[in-house]
Amino acid sequence: MHVNSEPIRNLEDLRQWREQILTLARRHRVLQVSVFGSVARGDTHANSDVDLLVDFEQGYRLTDHIRLLQGLKELLNCKVDVVDRRALRPEFRDFVLAEVQPL
């Protein structure tokens, strides 16, 4: 597997890895992947992570979530946060959904 060596500064940078991300996501029972946070807004800094909002298949396991997270960190060579849409906390839901962008 080819691994990223450049920082992810914006959505365009992340989308260069779209096919690899989606392949990894499907392998771990994900139906849809979206982007939110600083990458979606285009205001990253040196310590920014990649925030992904995902929709898991019904009946997915915690190991799917963990392995997806590990695989994405290895692929993108940066900090990644994977959030299950169904687990979004009510106080953050509107904020996250307002800025979410398709991968």
> Could you give the residue numbers annotated as active site?
49, 51
Report in angstroms the alpha-carbon separations of 58 from 1, 28, 29, 35, 89.
28, 12, 9, 21, 19
At 82, list the tokens: 């994977």
Alpha carbon 70 to chain centroid, angstroms: 11
Q: What's the DSSP call for residue 48? A: -
